[in-house]
Amino acid sequence: MALLEARQLYAAYGHTRVLHGVDFAIDKGSITALLGANGAGKTTTLRALCAMVKTQGEVRFEGARIDGRSTEDIARLGVAHVPDGRGTFLHLSTEENLRLGAYTRRDRARVETDLERVYGYFPRLKERRRQQAGTLSGGEQQMLAVSRALMLAPKLMLLDEPSFGLAPLLVRELFGILQAINQREQVSLLLVEQNAAMALDLADHAYLIETGRVVLSGTAEALKRDDSVRKSYLGY
């Protein structure tokens, strides 16, 4: 059974419809990539899953319908969203940001060990734990966003362009950590990326979105070999 499944998902901002019936599924334990050009509806798809925009259609998480539930409730089910723009609590400290990630958890002792584990992945954040998060660099805030999501102890992480604004070296490091998170922590990932080459290297499965519809799907390997994907998104 798929961990998350979207059927005929529509979404709109006011009267402007952005998604026109998107279908996709995420297997448990997998890394799934959503590819597409600017404005194709990738970010909106992630927002639709978390009830951050008005939607129609069906979304199932672990078999149960979650469309129509509130953003808070969906987070509490174990869906962590690393949003577009990083969503940092700018005036709080780095560590307060991380503790907020674990806000809904009651297993206090495990939260402490998770905090240390997150600092293990991103030692830079530990150095800056008392610093106001708004003063962190863009890359550090991106790490903070991923870490905050991880503190939720999620089953599924939605990542909206985690490579955005990062130096190439940092992107490589971040993707390495995402892979480790997926393998070690059994967290499934849904990755939205413009950097199609890196996303396809990381992912098991991928969907290509154009103007609010899925136009192509398959294993990452298959998409890499697809001519149109190669020309339009991989650039060779």
Partner 1 sequence: MEGFLHQVLAGLATGGIYASLALALVMIYQATHLVNFAQGEMAMFATYIAWSLVNAGMPYWIAFGLTVGISFFIGILIERVVIRPVENAPVLAVVVVFIALLVILNSVTGWIYTYTIKSFPSPFPQEMALGRYMSPHEVGAIGVTLVVLLLLFAFFRFTPLGLALRAAAQNPVSARLVGIRVGWMLALGWGLAAAIGAVAGMMVAPIVYLDPNMMGGILLYAFAAALVGGIDSPMGAVIGGFLVGVLENVLGAFVIGNELKLSVALVLIIGVLLVKPSGLFGRVHVTRV
49 binds partner 1 (CB under 8 A): no
Question: Any bridge partners for residue 158, and if so which?
Answer: 81, 190
Strand order in the sheet with 54-61: 16-27, 2-13, 54-61, 64-65
Instruction: Compare residues 158 and 178 and give the one whose CB is closer to partner 1.
Output: 158
104 binds partner 1 (CB under 8 A): yes
Tell the smallest beta-carbon distance from residue 123 to partner 1 (Å).
23
Among 68, 90, 184, 201, binds partner 1 (CB under 8 A): 90
C-alpha 9/C-alpha 118 separation (Å) is: 34
Instruction: Compare residues 73 and 201 and give the one whose CB is closer to partner 1.
Output: 73
C-alpha 11/C-alpha 186 separation (Å) is: 30
96 binds partner 1 (CB under 8 A): yes
83 binds partner 1 (CB under 8 A): yes
81 binds partner 1 (CB under 8 A): yes
88 binds partner 1 (CB under 8 A): yes
69 binds partner 1 (CB under 8 A): no
Instruction: Compare residues 81 and 205 and give the one whose CB is closer to partner 1.
Output: 81
Q: Answer for the pair 220, 203: CB distance below 8 angstroms, yes or no.
A: yes
How wide is the angle at C-alpha 196 spanned by C-alphas 157 and 167, nearest 5°?
80
70 binds partner 1 (CB under 8 A): yes
Which stretch, 23-31, 91-99, 180-188, 220-228, contacts partner 1 (CB under 8 A)?
91-99
C-alpha 77/C-alpha 74 separation (Å) is: 5
Helix ranges, the chain (H):
42-49, 71-76, 94-101, 108-121, 123-127, 138-151, 168-184, 196-202, 220-225, 227-229
Instruction: Compare residues 99 and 124 and give the one whose CB is closer to partner 1.
Output: 99
C-alpha 219/C-alpha 153 separation (Å) is: 27
Using CB under 8 A as the criterion, which residues of the chain lie in contact with partner 1 when the complex forms? 50, 52, 70-72, 75-76, 80-81, 83, 87-92, 96, 99-101, 103-104, 148, 152
